[in-house]
């Protein structure tokens, strides 16, 4: 079953009298439980595509179906609701809240879904232990290594049991050892049935994906399946 379906999607930004076409009639389908890496040079449209899939922006034309629902023309409040309930985000810069500890950072997306304090705390502890941070629950981001901070970000992304997990250069700010640990967690999540869509320049990250989608000038220039990922 396709969890993400993009049909003839274009995105055009109006810069004064100039039109900047970032995505050009792009078509893409991603199956439930698939691990897809999106690659391409700077300016190819990777980040814009990730923003579209993450309901952070709308296409200028075309359709985007998430879990069978056409979200292309939803209002901002509806898109916000979709993001909170169905999409987990992992960023290169972690985007943790410095004033909150590990448990509290993981609880944030659940707070916005109106879950009870008891429910939030139990789920946050479960997710922290799953990513190997059961002994760091009271630590703040400044007291954690980069790899540990990214583990918190992954646990936070999983808090609401999303349909898809989107990661933007998730190993980009990490040393090779920490990056390998994070990559193992992501691969394990996909083995558990999670759908992963990762923008990366890292060939080691993309080599673990089942499928690599390469963009060039806002179009898909190439797709291929990895033997290792498969």
Q: Map out the domains of the chain with their CATH numbers.
A: 34-59+75-225 (3.40.50.300)
Q: Using pLDDT thresholds of 50, 70 and 90, give the confidence band for residue 202.
A: confident
Strands 219-225 and 69-70, how do they pair?
unpaired
Is the confidence at residue 204, as pLDDT, over 90? no
Q: Is 90 helix (H, G, I), strand (E, B) or coil?
A: strand
Q: Counting Cβ atoms within 10 Å, is residue 88 exposed (0-12), middle (13-18) or buried (19+)?
A: buried
Is the confidence at residue 219, as pLDDT, over 50? yes
Q: According to the model, what pLDDT value does residue 228 have?
A: 56
Phi and psi of 89, rounded to 5°? -110, 135
Is the confidence at residue 10, as pLDDT, over 50? yes
CA distances, 26 to each of 29, 126, 140, 197, 199 (Å): 10, 39, 41, 16, 16
Interacting residues of 39 by C-beta distance below 8 A, sequence separation 6+: 46, 199, 200, 201, 206, 212, 213, 214, 215
Strands 219-225 and 211-216, how do they pair?
antiparallel
Nearest CA to 210 among 26, 4, 30, 7?
30
Q: Counting Cβ atoms within 10 Å, is residue 130 exposed (0-12), middle (13-18) or buried (19+)?
A: middle
Q: Using pLDDT thresholds of 50, 70 and 90, give the confidence band for residue 73.
A: confident
Mean pLDDT of 198-216: 93
Give me the percent of the chain exceeding a pLDDT of 70: 99
Q: Is 154 helix (H, G, I), strand (E, B) or coil?
A: helix
CB 55 within 8 A of CB 66: yes
* 163 half-sphere exposure, CB direction, 13 A CA radius: 21
Mean pLDDT of 158-168: 94
The rounded distance, in Å, linking the Cα atoms of 213 and 18 is 29
Tally Cβ neighbours within 10 Å of residue 140.
Answer: 16
Nearest CA to 141 among 200, 209, 94?
94
Mean pLDDT of 39-46: 93
Mean pLDDT of 31-55: 94
Mean pLDDT of 64-91: 92
Q: According to the model, what pLDDT value does residue 16 have?
A: 87
The rounded distance, in Å, linking the Cα atoms of 91 and 38 is 15
Is the confidence at residue 230, as pLDDT, over 50? no
Is the confidence at residue 154, as pLDDT, over 90? yes
């Amino acid at each position: 079953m396709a969890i993400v379906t993009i049909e003839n999607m274009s995105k055009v930004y109006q810069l004064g009298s100039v039109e900047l076409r970032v995505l050009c009639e792009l078509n893409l389908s991603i199956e439930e439980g698939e691990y897809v890496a999106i690659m391409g040079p700077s300016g190819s449209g990777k980040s814009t595509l990730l923003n579209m899939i993450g309901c952070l922006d709308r296409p200028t034309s075309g359709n985007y179906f998430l879990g069978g629902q056409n979200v292309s023309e939803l209002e901002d409040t509806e898109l916000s609701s979709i993001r909170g309930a169905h999409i987990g985000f992992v960023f290169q810069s972690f985007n943790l809240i410095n004033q909150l500890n590990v448990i509290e950072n993981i609880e944030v997306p659940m707070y916005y879904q109106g879950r009870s304090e008891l429910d939030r705390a139990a789920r946050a502890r479960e997710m922290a232990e799953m990513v190997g941070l059961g002994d760091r629950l009271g630590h703040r981001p400044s007291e954690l290594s980069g790899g540990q901070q990214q583990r918190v970000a992954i646990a936070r992304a999983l808090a609401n049991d999303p349909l898809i997990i989107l990661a933007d250069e998730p190993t980009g700010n990490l040393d090779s050892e920490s990056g390998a640990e994070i990559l193992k967690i992501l691969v394990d999540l996909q083995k558990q049935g999670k759908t992963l869509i990762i923008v990366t320049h890292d060939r080691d990250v993309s080599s673990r994906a089942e499928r690599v989608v390469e963009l060039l000038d806002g179009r898909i220039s190439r797709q291929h399946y990895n033997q290792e990922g498969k």
